[in-house]
Structure 1
Amino acid sequence: MTIADTRANTFVQSAVLVADREVRMRLRSKAFIVSSAILLLAVIASIVAGSIFGASASSSVTRVAVVGDSGSFAQVASLDVTEADSVGAAEQLVRAGDVEAAIVPGDGPTGIRILALEEAPSALVQLLSVTPEVSLLEPADQNGSLAYLVGLGFGIVFFMAATLFGTTIAQSVVEEKASRVVEILMSAISARALLAGKVIGNTVLAFGQIVLIAAAAIVGLVVTGQDALLGDLGPSIVWFVVFFAVGFVLLAALFASAAALVSRQEDIGSVTTPVMMLVMIPYFLIVFAWDNDLVLTIMSYVPFSAPIGMPMRVYLGTAEWWEPLLSLVVIIATTVVVVLLGSRIYSNSLLRTGARVKILDALRG
C-alpha cells in the first residue's frame, strides 16, 4: 500500500467518524425530532384532508323528482331520482321536502322545467344546462389548483429541510471554533475530513428525512385511494429526492465554509444570509411563477433552484426525457466546484479567531 492509499484511507475513516458523530448528535436532539415529526405530519394531514374534501365533494347528491320522459335528463350519478306520477305529485314532494327539486315537462327549448321552493339547486341547473363544444388549442396536462399545491409542497419541503440542516451545520462549525474544540479535532484529523464528515452526516439525515416524507406521501395517496394522482406525482417525487440529495451537498458546503469565517454565534447571520437567499429565492419563485414555463425552465438549470424547478416541470409534463439528466449533470458539476472552493475556505479559516475572515484571504490562505 502506498502513502497516497494510506492517506486516502485515513481521510475516509476520519470523515466517516465525524459523519457518525453528526448523525448521533442530531438524532439525540429533541428539536430535530420534533421539527421532523411536524413536517411529516403536515404532509400526511394535507393528503388526508385532500381525500376527505374530494370525497365529500364527489358524494354530494341532489335529490330530485321526475315526471314521465323528463327522467331521461336525470340519469347522472350525482342525482338521487324519485319518480312521480304527475306534475302535481312532483310538486307535493318538493313542498314536503322529500326532494330538493323536480324535473317536469316544459314548453321551452329543452322540453323540461325545474320546480323548486325558493331557489333551484345550482348543481342541478348546471347539470341540465346545454354546454357548447369546447376545443382547447393548448390544453393543460394538469389541474391548475393541484399543480400549484404540488409546487408549493416541493418549495416548502426544500426550504424547511435546507434551512434546518444548513443552520445546524453553521451553528456546529462556529460552536466548535469558539470553544476551541476544533483545535483538538484538527490535531487528529484534517480540516477537509472534518468538513466532509459534517456534510456527509447532515446530508444523510436530510436525505433520510426527505425519503421518509416521500414514502409517507406515497403510502398516504395509496391508502386514501388517490392512485390516479400518485401515477402523475410519482416520477416528480423521485426526481425531487434525487435532486435534493445532490443539491443539499452543495448548500451544506456553502453553510459550513461561510460559518468558518466567523468565531461568534452572533455573527452567523451576517455570513450565512447570502446562502439563505439562495434557498429562499427558489421558494418564492415557485410560489409566484409556478405556471410560468420560462421561469421554471431557467430554475431547472440553476443549481440552487433545480431541486424544485425540474421536478415541477416533470409533473407538468413540460420537460423532455433528457432534461432531468442534463440538469443533474449541471448540478453535480457545480457541487464539485463549490465543495472544492468551500473546503479551501473552511481549511484556511477554521483556526483563525477574532475578527471575521475575508473570503479572499481565506481563498489565498
Structure 2
Amino acid sequence: MNTYEAVRIVAAREIRVKLRDKAFLFGTLFFLLFAVAGTALPPLLAGGPSSVAVVGQAPAALTAAGLDVRPVADEAAARAQVRAGDVDAALLTDGTLVAMTDAPGDVENALSTRPTVELLDPSALDPVLSFLVPLFFAVVFFFTSLTFGLQIAQSVTEEKQTRVVEILVASVPVRVLLTGKVLAGAVLAMGQIALIAIVALAGMRIAGTGSELVSALTPAIGWFLPFFVVGFVMLAALWAAVGALVNRQEDINAASMPVQLAVMLPFFAVMMLGDNPTAMKVLSYVPFSSPSAMPVRLFHGDAAAWEPFAALGVLVVGAVVTLAVGARIYEGSLLRTNGRTSMAAAWRDREARRLAELDAQQV
C-alpha cells in the first residue's frame, strides 16, 4: 500500500467517525443558525419607520405612510442632520431625496413620483455590515479551528488511551497517520463552511440584500478560503501534537493552553481592533491572525492589491514551520504511554528515534 492510499484510508476513517459524532452535528447546526441570524435578521428586525428631514411643507404622503417627518429651516440644516445621523434622509424643496449611503425604500415608496436621490457618501459601508462582517470571519475561523482542533486532539488521545495507536502505527507510518487526521479535519471544516455560505446566501435573499452584499463580500470571501485552509492546517498539526502529549482526555485542556491562546488572542485582537487600520495591517501579516484580519481589510477596502499575496506567503511559511514542529512533537510523543509528555522530551525522543533509524539503515 503506497503513501497516498494509506493517507486516504486514514482520512476516510476520521471523516466517518466525525459524521457520526453528535457534537460535530450540533456544532454545524449552530454555525448554520448563526449564518441565518447574521444575514437575514438585521434587515428584518431593523424595525421602525425612517426619519425624514423636510425643507418647507412636508408632503402629506410622508405622514400618511407613518414616517417620522421632521421640519427643518433650510437645505444646509437638512444635509447636516443626514451627515450627523440624526435622520435617515432629507427631502429638499426641489424634491431631491438626500441620504448618506442608500436611500430608505419606505421614503421613496411613499412619494407619488420617484425622487432624484443624492447620496452624501455612497462608498461608505453600512454600519451593521461593518460590524457583522468582521464578526463573521473572526467567529468562523475561531470556532472552526478550535472545535475541529479539539476533536483532532481528542481523537489522538483516545487512540493512545485505548492502545489502538499501536496497531495503527504498525500498519502505517506515524507521519501518514498525522497527515490523514489533518486532511480529514480540513475536508470536514471546508464542508461546514460551504454549508454556512449556502445558508448565508439564502438568508441574504430572504432579507432582500443579496446582490449588494454578495458584491461587497466577493473579494473578501475569495481570499478567506485559501487563508482559512492554510491557517487551519497549521493549527491542526499543533492540536494533533497536543493530543499525542497526553494519555487522558482530562489532560488535554491543560496541555493545549498554548494552542488555545494562539487561537483566542488573535480572535479578540481582530474583534477589538477592527476599526484601527494600523493594528489590522499588522494583524493581517501575523500567521495566527491573518486568516481573519486580511479578509476584513479587503472588505473595508484598506488593503493594496499585492498585500493578500504577501500575507498568504507569510502564512504559508509559518504553516510549514509549524507543521514541522507539530509533526516532530507528534512523532516523539505518540507512543509514549508513561504519563503526560513534555514538549522538550517529545522533541528529544524524536531526534533519538531518527538517529537510531539512521544507524539501523547503515548497519
TM-score, normalised to structure 1, is 0.77
Q: Which residue of 2 aligns with 1:290?
A: 274
Aligned pairs (5 A) from 1:181-192: 181-192=164-175
Decide which of 312, 315, 318 is 2:302's aligned counterpart: 318
CA contact (8 A) 1:211 1:241 kept: no
Aligned pairs (5 A) from 1:1-365: 10-54=2-46, 56-57=47-48, 60=50, 73-74=57-58, 79-80=62-63, 141-226=124-209, 227-364=211-348, 365=350
CA contact (8 A) 2:245 2:341 kept: yes
Tell me the CA shift for residue 156 of structure 1: 1.4
Q: C-alpha deviations, 1:170-197, integer Å up to 9, x for none?
A: 1111110111100011110011000000
CA contact (8 A) 2:51 2:67 kept: no
Separation in 2 of the partners of 1:360 and 1:327?
31
Separation in 2 of the partners of 1:80 and 1:327?
53
Q: Which runs of 5+ in 2 are unaligned?
A: 75-85, 94-99, 101-120, 351-363
> Relative to 1, partners in 2 of residues 1:158 and 1:109: Cα closer, same or farther, differing over 3 Å?
closer
Q: Which residue of 1 aligns with 2:359?
A: none
Q: CA RMSD in A?
A: 3.4
* Partner SS state of residue 283, structure 2: helix
What amino acid does structure 1 have at the position aligned with 2:40? Answer: V
CA contact (8 A) 2:241 2:327 kept: yes
> Relative to 1, partners in 2 of residues 1:141 and 1:344: Cα closer, same or farther, differing over 3 Å?
same
What amino acid does structure 1 have at the position aligned with 2:196? Answer: I
Tell me the CA shift for residue 234 of structure 1: 2.1
Separation in 1 of the partners of 2:231 and 2:92?
52
Q: C-alpha deviations, 1:313-359, integer Å up to 9, x for none?
A: 00010001111111111111211121122112111111101232222
CA contact (8 A) 1:222 1:230 kept: no
Separation in 2 of the partners of 1:18 and 1:72?
75
Separation in 1 of the partners of 2:212 and 2:43?
12
Separation in 2 of the partners of 1:124 and 1:141?
14
The size of the alignment, in residue pairs, is 313
Q: C-alpha deviations, 1:266-305, integer Å up to 9, x for none?
A: 2111211110111111211122111011111111111110
CA contact (8 A) 2:242 2:256 kept: yes
* Partner SS state of residue 302, structure 1: coil
What amino acid does structure 2 have at the position aligned with 1:270? Answer: A
CA contact (8 A) 2:50 2:68 kept: no
Of all paired residues, the percent bearing the same amino acid is 40
> Relative to 1, partners in 2 of residues 1:143 and 1:45: Cα closer, same or farther, differing over 3 Å?
closer
CA contact (8 A) 1:261 1:349 kept: yes
> Relative to 1, partners in 2 of residues 1:101 and 1:297: Cα closer, same or farther, differing over 3 Å?
closer
Tell me the CA shift for residue 219 of structure 1: 3.2
> Relative to 1, partners in 2 of residues 1:187 and 1:128: Cα closer, same or farther, differing over 3 Å?
same
Tell me the CA shift for residue 80 of structure 1: 4.3
* Partner SS state of residue 256, structure 2: helix
CA contact (8 A) 2:36 2:200 kept: yes
* Partner SS state of residue 218, structure 1: helix
Tell me the CA shift for residue 101 of structure 1: 8.0
* Partner SS state of residue 319, structure 1: coil
Q: Which runs of 5+ in 1 are unaligned?
A: 1-8, 63-69, 83-97, 111-121
> Relative to 1, partners in 2 of residues 1:356 and 1:50: Cα closer, same or farther, differing over 3 Å?
same
Separation in 2 of the partners of 1:30 and 1:195?
23
Q: C-alpha deviations, 1:180-232, integer Å up to 9, x for none?
A: 10001111001100000000001100111112212322332234321212211
CA contact (8 A) 2:39 2:204 kept: yes
TM-score, normalised to structure 2, is 0.77
